[in-house]
């Protein structure tokens, strides 16, 4: 999306309220029944970003110190897989067309992919250490996130980032992951990139849950604007 479409042209323009509308939508549709609340909806520009000490297309490492003085370390690894090696793939046909879309893989909905591809990219593992506590994130937190973006930036698609949130005596860590399927130098329009925005939430006891917006939901709220905040 070109920046001109994102400019605040008049007070009543959608762009002035885009983020508020999106946050309202997320609170109404993404939190209920997931043991999550609006505490986890944040402007990450106001949070403390944890340092990325290493990033390449296969591994990203994050290491920093929390306000409590405890060290936090996170390691996210990526893997490639032959789509045909996955147990089952269910396709969705659009009535009246020849279009076929990937709907379910191994029985669960997937994000970041809508067409059959020979090779796919997935997160292999996420390990987290907070102080002297180590835990491995359960794979149902990320197994449905295809083509995660590790280090690149394209408009609102950001590299994997982690942020620290102090709320009273409670400490939380948020890990943001975006999808990058079909992203390349020639394809600069975000609406053509099969993406998602996922926020994985942790505390000292482990994985708390996640908030996820699909490609369609992001596009509906003009997320391609460079100053898009999200959740």
**40, 23 in Cβ contact below 8 A?**
no
Whole-structure pTM value? 0.84
Count of domains for the chain = 1
The tens digit of pLDDT for each residue in 36-51 reads 778 888 888 888 999 9
Res 148: pLDDT: 92
Whether 228 is covered by a domain: the verdict is: no
The tens digit of pLDDT for each residue in 114-151 reads 666 667 788 999 999 999 999 989 999 998 898 899 99
- Examine the pLDDT at 1 and tell me if it is beyond 50: no
Whether 229 is covered by a domain: the verdict is: no
Whether 159 is covered by a domain: the verdict is: yes
Whether 130 is covered by a domain: the verdict is: yes
Residues spanned by the domain of 63:
3-220
Whether 168 is covered by a domain: the verdict is: yes
Res 6: pLDDT: 55
Res 101: pLDDT: 59
Whether 226 is covered by a domain: the verdict is: no
Whether 110 is covered by a domain: the verdict is: yes
Core vs surface per residue 97-130: b (16+ CB within 10 A) or e: eeeeebeebeeeebbbbbeeeeebbbbeebebeb
- Examine the pLDDT at 4 and tell me if it is beyond 50: no
Complete DSSP assignment for 79-147: EEEEGGGSS-EEEEEPTTS--EEEEEETTEE-BS--S--SEEEEEEEEEEEETTEEEEPPGGGTTTBBS
- Examine the pLDDT at 107 and tell me if it is beyond 70: no
Whether 227 is covered by a domain: the verdict is: no
Taking the C-alpha atoms of residue 190 and residue 182, their distance in angstroms, rounded to an integer, is 10
Asked which of 78-87, 158-167, 170-179 is least confident by mean pLDDT, the reply is 78-87
Q: What is the residue whose two structure tokens read 């708390």?
A: 208
């Amino acid at each position: 999306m070109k920046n001109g479409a994102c400019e605040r042209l008049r007070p009543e323009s959608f762009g002035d309220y885009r983020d508020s509308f999106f946050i309202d939508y997320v609170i109404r549709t993404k939190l209920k029944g997931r043991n999550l609340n609006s505490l986890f909806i944040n402007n990450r520009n106001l949070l403390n970003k944890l340092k990325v000490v290493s990033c390449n297309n296969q591994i990203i490492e994050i290491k920093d110190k929390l306000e409590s003085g405890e060290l936090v370390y996170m390691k996210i690894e990526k893997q490639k897989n032959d789509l045909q090696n996955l147990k089952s793939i269910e396709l969705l046909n659009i009535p009246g067309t020849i279009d076929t879309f990937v709907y379910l893989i191994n029985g669960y909905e997937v994000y970041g992919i809508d067409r059959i591809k020979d090779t796919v990219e997935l997160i292999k593992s996420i390990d987290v250490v907070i102080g002297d506590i180590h835990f491995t994130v359960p794979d149902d937190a990320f197994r449905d996130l295809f083509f995660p973006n590790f280090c690149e930036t394209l408009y609102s698609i950001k590299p994997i980032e982690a942020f620290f949130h102090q709320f009273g005596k409670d400490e939380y860590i948020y890990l943001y992951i975006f999808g990058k399927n079909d992203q390349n130098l020639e394809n600069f329009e975000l609406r053509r990139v099969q993406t998602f925005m996922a926020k994985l939430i942790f505390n000292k006891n482990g994985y708390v849950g996640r908030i996820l917006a699909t490609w369609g939901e992001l596009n509906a709220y003009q997320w391609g604007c460079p100053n898009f905040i999200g959740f």
